[in-house]
Amino acid sequence: MKSDASRPVDGDRRQIALAQLRRGQVATVSGLVESAAIDSGRDASQSLVTRLRDLGFVPGARCEVVARMWLGGDPIAVRIGGSTFALRRAEAAAVRVELALGQARDVVAHAGSSAVTA
């Protein structure tokens, strides 16, 4: 099952990467994908996904971007499940989210990795 990450999946709700959210935006996690930005093999990618899941990045979880570093948001600080985590862009690219309704929907253009759905 493949999906092109830059095209809207259905109407209003777009699936985008966590890495694309701007500061202050709130979203709901919809899934995890292996990020090709981590160019050291499937193993590293897999364990990254497992670890993200263990930290609470599971479908349905609400998250908010607390801060973004300059130069493309590497790293970003994300608040999820009552805890705050610092993630690099490649790690945040592995998290698929849906923007919560009622927010301005401008996000960072999809820069960098093309993702393959796991």
Partner 1 sequence: MDATVTPLRIALVGVPNCGKTALFNRLTGSRQKVANYPGVTVERREGERATPDGRGMRVLDLPGTYSLNPTTLDEAITRDVLLGRLADTPAPELVVCVVDAVHLPIGLRLALEVKRLGLPMVLALNRMDVARRRSVHIDAAKLSAELGVPVVATIAVKRGGADALVEVIEAGTWIAPRAFAPALREHGAEDAEQMQRDMRALLAAAGYSPPRENPWSGRIDALLLHPVAGLAVLLTVLFVMFQAVFSWAEAPMDGIERAMNSLGGFTAAHMPAGPLASLLVNGVIGGAGSVLVFLPQIVILFFFILALEDSGYLPRAAYLLDRLMGSVGLSGRAFIPLLSSHACAIPGIMATRTIPNWRDRLTTIMIAPLMTCSARLPVYGLLIAALIPARSVGPFNLQGLVLFTLYAAGIVSALLVAFVMKQFARERQYSPLMLELPDFQWPNASNLVLGLWERVKIFMSRVGGIILALMIVLWFLSSYPEPPPGATGPAIQYSLAGRIGALLEYVFAPIGFNWQIAIALVPGLAAREVAVAALGTVYAMSAAGDDLSAALEPVISSTWSLATGVSLLAWYVFAPQCLSTLAVVKRETNSWRYPLIMAGYLFALAYLASFITFRVVRAWA
User: Which residues lie near partner 1 (CB under 8 A)?
Assistant: 38-40, 44, 47-48, 50-56, 58, 66-71, 74-75, 77, 81-88, 90-91
Residues β-bridged to residue 35 = 115
CB 2 to partner 1: min, Å: 18
CB 102 to partner 1: min, Å: 18
Query: Between 5 and 90, whose beta carbon lies closer to partner 1?
Result: 90
How far is the C-alpha of 44 from the C-alpha of 30, rounded, in Å? 21
For the beta carbon of residue 9, count every other beta carbon within 10 angstroms. Answer: 14
Q: Within its chain, how far is the Cα of 97 from the centroid?
A: 6
CB 71 to partner 1: min, Å: 7
Residues β-bridged to residue 63 = 27, 80
CB 72 to partner 1: min, Å: 10
Whether a cis peptide bond, with omega within 30° of 0, leads into 8 is: no
Query: Between 27 and 90, whose beta carbon lies closer to partner 1?
Result: 90
Query: Between 12 and 54, whose beta carbon lies closer to partner 1?
Result: 54
Query: Between 2 and 7, whose beta carbon lies closer to partner 1?
Result: 2
CA torsion, ordered 54, 58, 64, 68, to nearest 10 deg: 60
